[in-house]
C-alpha cells in the first residue's frame, strides 16, 4: 500500500482574521490588517529624544566663563561670588538692548577688575592683561561700557596703598613693613604721580630699605609686573621727599 507524506510549510495563518461578514448570509470577509489601519508606519513621527536640549542661556554661559577666568587667574571664591553679582546686575540692566562686547572676555575681565576692588584685593588692568592675554586697552574700554550700565560701590581708581597690601602679601613681608609701605604710598600718591602700581612698588621698596631687609628691586618688580627701572626712578623721586613717613 502506497503512502505519502504531506509537508506543511505553514501551520499558522498570518493573514487577517475571518471576522467581518461581507453582507451575504454566511459569507465572511477578511478583517483589515495592521498596515491597512496604520498605513506606512515609517511615516509616523519619531518621539523626541530625551537628550535634546534648547539653546544655552547667554547669562549662564558668561557666568561659566567667569568661573574659568577666576580659576585661570588663581582668584579666591569671594571674588567669583562678587563678579557673578556684578555681571548679573549688568545683564539685568541691559536686557533687551544690544551692547557690543557685553559677552566678551574683556567685559568679564572688567567685571573681575571691580570684583577684586570690592574684595579689597585690587589688580590693575595691566595685571589682568598679563594674566589673560587680553589687551589693557580692551579691558579699560569695556570697563567704561560696564560703568554706563552698573554703578559700583566704589568708582574711584585703585589707590597705591591698596596695591601695597597685595604686594607685601605676595612677597611675604612683615606686618611692620606693610604698614610703613601703606603710609608712604598714601603720602606720595598725589605728589609723585605715575601709575598706581609704580608708586606702590616704590613705596614697598622704600619700606624694605627702612626695615633693613634684603628684598631687591627685581623681586618687587616681578611681583608688581613693572620693570626694575620704573621702581628705581619712582623711588628716586620719593627719596627727595622727607615727610613721607
List Cβ<8 Å contacts ≥24 apart for 179-184. 180/207, 180/210, 180/211, 180/245, 181/206, 181/207, 183/244, 183/245, 184/238, 184/244, 184/245
For position 37, what pLDDT does the model report? 44
58-149 and 160-239: identical CATH topology: yes
- At which residue does the C-alpha cell 566704589 appear? 154
Start-end of H helices in 119-216: 125-132, 136-149, 160-171, 175-192, 196-210
Average pLDDT per block of 10 residues along the chain, 245 residues long:
53 52 52 49 48 61 90 90 92 83 90 89 87 92 90 72 90 94 91 88 95 93 90 91 73
For position 171, what pLDDT does the model report? 92
- 80 neighbors 67 (Cβ within 8 angstroms): yes
160-239 domain in CATH 1.10.472.10?
A: yes
58-149 domain in CATH 2.60.40.10?
A: no
pTM over 0.95? The answer is no
Supply the DSSP symbol for 172.
Answer: T
Q: Where are the domains of the chain?
A: 58-149, 160-239
DSSP 215-238: --HHHHHHHHTS-HHHHHHHHHHH
Task: Kindly provide the b/e burial profile for residues 53-71, where b requires at least 16 CB atoms within 10 angstroms of the residue's own CB.
Answer: eeeeeeeeebbeebeebbe
What residues have CB less than 8 Å from 30, skipping those under 6 apart? 15, 16, 17, 18, 20
C-alpha cell at 151: 554703578
For position 14, what pLDDT does the model report? 52
Amino acid at each position: 500500500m502506497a503512502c505519502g507524506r504531506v509537508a506543511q510549510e505553514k501551520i499558522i495563518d498570518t493573514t487577517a482574521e475571518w471576522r467581518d461578514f461581507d453582507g451575504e448570509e454566511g459569507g465572511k470577509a477578511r478583517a483589515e490588517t495592521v498596515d491597512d489601519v496604520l498605513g506606512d508606519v515609517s511615516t509616523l513621527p519619531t518621539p523626541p529624544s530625551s537628550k535634546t536640549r534648547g539653546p544655552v542661556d547667554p547669562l549662564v554661559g558668561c557666568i561659566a566663563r567667569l568661573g574659568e577666568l577666576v580659576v585661570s587667574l588663581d582668584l579666591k571664591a569671594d571674588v567669583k561670588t562678587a563678579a557673578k553679582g556684578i555681571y548679573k546686575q549688568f545683564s539685568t540692566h541691559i536686557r533687551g538692548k544690544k551692547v557690543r562686547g557685553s559677552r566678551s572676555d574683556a567685559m568679564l575681565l572688567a567685571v573681575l577688575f571691580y570684583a577684586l576692588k570690592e574684595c579689597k584685593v585690587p589688580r590693575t588692568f595691566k595685571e589682568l592683561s598679563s594674566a589673560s592675554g587680553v589687551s589693557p586697552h580692551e579691558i579699560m574700554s569695556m570697563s567704561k561700557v560696564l560703568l554706563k550700565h552698573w554703578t559700583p560701590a566704589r568708582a574711584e581708581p585703585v589707590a597705591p596703598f591698596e596695591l601695597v597690601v597685595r604686594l607685601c602679601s605676595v612677597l611675604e613681608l612683615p606686618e611692620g613693613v606693610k604698614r610703613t609701605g601703606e603710609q608712604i604710598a598714601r603720602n606720595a600718591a598725589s605728589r609723585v604721580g605715575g601709575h598706581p602700581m609704580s608708586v606702590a612698588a616704590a613705596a614697598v621698596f622704600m619700606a624694605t630699605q627702612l626695615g633693613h631687609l634684603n628684598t631687591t628691586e627685581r623681586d618687587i618688580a616681578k611681583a608688581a609686573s613693572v620693570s626694575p627701572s620704573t621702581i628705581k626712578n619712582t623711588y628716586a623721586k620719593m627719596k627727595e621727599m622727607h615727610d613721607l613717613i
